Amino acid sequence: MAKKIIFQKCNFNNIYFLFYIIIDFLHIFISYSLYPKDEKDNKNEAIPKYILPTLIISHLYTYNISDFLAIIPHFIRKAIIKKKNNKITDAQIEENNIENSQLIYNDNRLSVANKKKKIMIYYCIFLAILDFLQKFVFVLYGIIYEGSEINIYTFSCYVPFEIIFQFMCSYYILKIHFYKLQKFSLFLNLGIFIIILTIDLLNILIKHSFDGKMYIFYAFCVIFYSIEYSYVKKILLYGYISIYLLMLIKGFFLLILVLLFSLIMFLVKKQVFIDIGYFFTESKLIWLMIGSIFVKFFLGLFLWIIIDRFSPNYYPFVLIFKEYFYTIFDKLIDSTEYSTMKWDIFVRIFLYIISFIGVMIHNEIVVINICNLGSDTKYFLDLEVKSEEQFATTDNPDIIKRYETFEMDNVNEENEEAKKNDNEIISEGEK
């Protein structure tokens, strides 16, 4: 094929990426507005004593409550399925009953279904633990470093790290095989990660941009949710369970963990719950919390739809776009300035663009037909299948001749290699 770079066609499901990005930008704005600020001193900085209560509300309580909103679409979906099932005629039901009665002693589908349900419950418990841990990391940082929260400047090395770790989770958990393009993309993002990490370390050690310990906490957050997303995909593939029911079950087990955490916090640090009461004293904060619950529900819903329709390896698209939205938000609304080397922002933005292209290559949205990199991609394999089907069904002599010429070329190449081997053997014998 003459083309060196091939772009795959867009899918209607790509609209969920747009929905997620819009909802995420709204989520950023609500989270920013939820922090109580001292208007006398600085409008852009939250009051330190309310940071931990805000983290608990934002990362644990509202997220957990948002999972239970899935009960509405779950019952709607259930009613639609029930309505469709009611259209089955009595004759079909009777026929199915007869068939089932004949195989009643040999049919093990019920035991298999019960076994699968138990496995799904274990998976959901594991999901709830991972979900709790990745949100608890932010709260833990607020507990250890009181009055502080994890806040890293945009275009840092953590997004390439997320991309690499998400790819590896898909490889080991979902058993997704890496071909030449996937390996190329993985090493490309690894190189970008090393370069940006070096720049970030210079900013931390020389310019003191922020506390480097944030990276350690955020790395654990990335590890927990990357594993979680891979297991979400695994459950949706093998569990035959809807996204809404999965959110409900996960939310139930997460509620147990959140209540256990709340009990421990109440016994250890009661003042936090007194400060949480402040958020119920103003109608503005109450409406912001309600809005946050609905926004987080749609945020989780669109994310899981993306994972279901595509794969966890598509989530890095969202991560990269979020960085650009964070930059816009920071410049227009937050106006937070970090002490960096200034020139490095352009390098990091450029590397993020390269990383975006790498993710497109990994997911075969862009196929590179250079140095045989794209030979084992789905695009070229589909072309081979179509070519063989066309040859098998066509009467066109030009197509037959082209295929036969291709076959003869391969045969000639094999004959030439055989002759070379024979000559080498003869020459060695003469010696």
Would you say 155 and 343 are in contact if contact means Cβ atoms under 8 Å apart? no
What is the rounded distance in angstroms from the CA atom of residue 62 to the CA atom of residue 40?
Answer: 29
Would you say 248 and 74 are in contact if contact means Cβ atoms under 8 Å apart? yes
DSSP state of 81: H
Predicted structure pTM score: 0.78
Q: What is the pLDDT of residue 229?
A: 92
Strands 366-368 and 5-7, sheet pairing: antiparallel
Q: Tell which residue, 231, 189, 191, 192, has the closest CA to residue 348.
A: 192
Rg (CA), the chain: 28
**Which residue is it, tokens 């507990």?**
143
Q: What is the pLDDT of residue 336?
A: 66
Q: What is the pLDDT of residue 298?
A: 94
Positions of the chain with pLDDT under 70: 1-8, 38-46, 87-114, 239, 333-337, 368, 370-431
DSSP state of 204: I
> Which residues are CB-neighbours of 124 under 8 A, at least 6 positions away?
235, 246, 249, 250, 253
72-88: b (≥16 Cβ within 10 Å) or e: ebbeeeeeeeeeeeeee
> Which residues are CB-neighbours of 155 under 8 A, at least 6 positions away?
196, 323, 327, 345, 348, 349, 351, 352
What is the rounded distance in angstroms from the CA atom of residue 178 to the CA atom of residue 314?
Answer: 15
Q: What is the pLDDT of residue 271?
A: 87
DSSP string, 329-369: HIIIII-------STHHHHHHHHHHHHHHHHHHHTTSEEE-
Would you say 132 and 61 are in contact if contact means Cβ atoms under 8 Å apart? no
Q: What is the pLDDT of residue 252?
A: 94
Q: What is the pLDDT of residue 220?
A: 92
Q: Could you give the 3-state DSSP secondary structure of residue 210?
A: coil
